[in-house]
Chains A and B, each alone.
Chain A
């Protein structure tokens, strides 16, 4: 019964999306807005297909993805490490806590020009910018996760003969993984957005740069198709993270339903 309901909901979702796309197409064709303001769905999709075939779109997406994922990887590595240090070393907590609580609500995109000054307009700038923006939620969730590990779990491991090193890698990290992973799931879209905005502001190839160009040339279908491409890439990444989560955390109570 539950499966039937899930199926029905999924179907309903697709139906409503299709209805929305159909509405888009009809409104566009009825020329309620100009071609420029609202190119029809079919025009945008055709343009998208053209760009893919002509070999323009995919390398751009690849470049953007590469930078975003590289930035995300740095943010993940640094963030988890710092987060765990904060939880375990009072000195690390004393040092990082104020920095993180200040950094979290700051619009870190403002630092883009500083990064450009330091590293030029190349890949490394964008990667570092993405990493800088994405690292904060990872730190916060990793620190909370490491702190939240039940001490009785650690104690039982100690009495079973675990050494300090075992405690960290075999007990604390797996126990903290669900919350750490949630932080990673928040960080990935951030890395992607910041990467794209960096491209829009500083050029250098990639989908953000392409959209910026198309915007300047008033290439409306181009801009729309670029956005559709980003939306698709974005949802694929989010879905991928969900799938990874389900596999990694197959033991978690939330999956046992």
Chain B
């Protein structure tokens, strides 16, 4: 089976602390962590913090996708928009996205707004770029034949450019998805108020390491499955391609 090595890792994780190869307080055995995970679930902490994280993530990501795709395509299609927005993109591109977190906190405080804003701004750029490239890369022949058939520029945009740019846009959104998780967790570490990132720090500082590990695994698993789900969605949306 393809994922068999994971079983090996799981076995090692269980065995090593029990055999005394590593200290059990720095690496609790897998079963202990699993037990703590159930504990978090039952107590409701996992769900409530998890939902808080998810809300902010989805809000920021959705905003980023909608605004990003719109901006990117408009930039590719209407020259004045490009001239206006291009310098902004160029300046912000080399900036590490998480550097914006402190600014957001400065402006919006330690609550949900700054986290959503951090995710939004961080994901915006990759989506804008992929939408822009996707729209620009559209086969000119498709565009010309649609225009020649009498379609208005606006219709061509919706019915020709957008679908043709889809593969590239979807690839950019995949990056944005991964980025959104990173930014959210980072923001939660820094703001330290609510969410899974906060839960992990809190448990870590309190010395409840088995639950902390459970939290980390949860976050990683959610990130992984989100990516997998997205790939399936992407495959379905692009099923007309070979």
The 10 tightest CB contacts between A and B, nearest first, are A105-B227, A16-B87, A107-B181, A235-B94, A201-B189, A193-B96, A113-B204, A215-B102, A110-B219, A106-B220
- Is A212 engaged at the interface, CB distance under 8 Å to the other chain? yes
Q: Is the CB of A231 within 8 A of B95?
A: yes
Q: List 26 A-B contacts (CB under 8 A).
A: A13-B90, A16-B86, A16-B87, A20-B88, A94-B5, A99-B5, A99-B9, A105-B223, A105-B228, A107-B185, A107-B220, A108-B220, A109-B182, A109-B186, A111-B216, A113-B200, A113-B203, A116-B204, A192-B96, A193-B97, A196-B96, A197-B98, A200-B98, A212-B102, A234-B95, A238-B94
Cβ contact within 8 Å between B106 and A107: no
Is A30's CB within 8 Å of the partner chain B?
Answer: no
Residues of A within 8 A of B200 (CB): 110, 113
* A109 shortest CB reach to chain B, Å: 5
A128-171 toward B: CB 8 Å interface, digit per residue (1/0)? 00000000000000000000000000000000000000000000
Instruction: Please state if B9 and A106 are interface contacts (CB–CB under 8 Å).
Output: no
Which residue numbers of A lie inside 8 Å of B, CB to CB? Answer: 13, 16-17, 19-20, 36-37, 94-99, 102, 105-114, 116-118, 189, 192-193, 196-197, 200-201, 211-212, 214-215, 218, 220, 223-224, 226-227, 230-231, 234-235, 238
For B189, the chain A residues whose CB sits under 8 A away are: 109, 112, 197, 200-201
Chain A binding surface SS class: helix
Task: Considering the complex, give the chain A residue whose CB is closest to the CB of B94.
Answer: A235
B209-242 contacts to A, CB under 8 A, are: 209, 212-213, 216, 219-220, 223-224, 226-228
Flag if A227 contacts B216 (CB, 8 Å): no
Name the one of B5, B204, B209 contacting A98, with C-beta atoms under 8 angstroms.
B5
List, in ascending order, chain B residues with CB within 8 A of A16's CB: 83, 86-87, 90
Q: Report how far A113 CA is from B198 CA in the complex, Å.
A: 11
For residue B79, CB closer than 8 A to chain A, the reply is no
B102:A200 contact, CB within 8 angstroms: yes
Q: Shortest CB–CB separation between residue B180 and chain A, in angstroms?
A: 9
- What 17 new A-B contacts, CB under 8 Å, besides A97-B5, A108-B182? A17-B91, A36-B106, A37-B107, A95-B5, A98-B2, A106-B223, A107-B178, A107-B220, A113-B204, A193-B96, A193-B98, A197-B186, A200-B186, A200-B189, A214-B102, A215-B105, A227-B102
Shortest C-beta distance, B72 to chain A (Å), equals 17
B94/A17 in contact, CB under 8 A: no
Q: Is the CB of B5 within 8 A of A106?
A: no
Chain B CB within 10 Å, residue with most, of A17, A37, A192, A215: A215
Given contacts A117-B26, A201-B186, contact A196 B201 (CB under 8 A): no
Answer yes or no: B50 CB below 8 A from chain A CBs: no
Report B-chain residues with C-beta under 8 Å of the C-beta of A95. Answer: 5, 8
In contact, B220 and A99 (Cβ under 8 angstroms): no
User: Are B26 and A118 in contact, with the CB atoms below 8 A?
Assistant: yes
* B142 at interface by CB-CB < 8 Å: no
**Within 8 Å CB of B197, what residues of A?**
110
- A116 proximity list for chain B (CB < 8 A): 204
Determine how close the nearest CB of chain A comes to the CB of B170; give it in whole angstroms: 15
Residue of A nearest to B100 (CB): A227
Residue pair A223, B103 in contact (C-beta under 8 Å): yes
Are A230 and B224 in contact, with the CB atoms below 8 A? no
Whether B190 is near chain A, meaning CB under 8 Å from some CB there, is yes
Asked whether B19 is an interface residue with its Cβ less than 8 Å from the other chain, the reply is: no
Assess whether A200 is in contact with B101, with CB atoms less than 8 Å apart.
Answer: yes
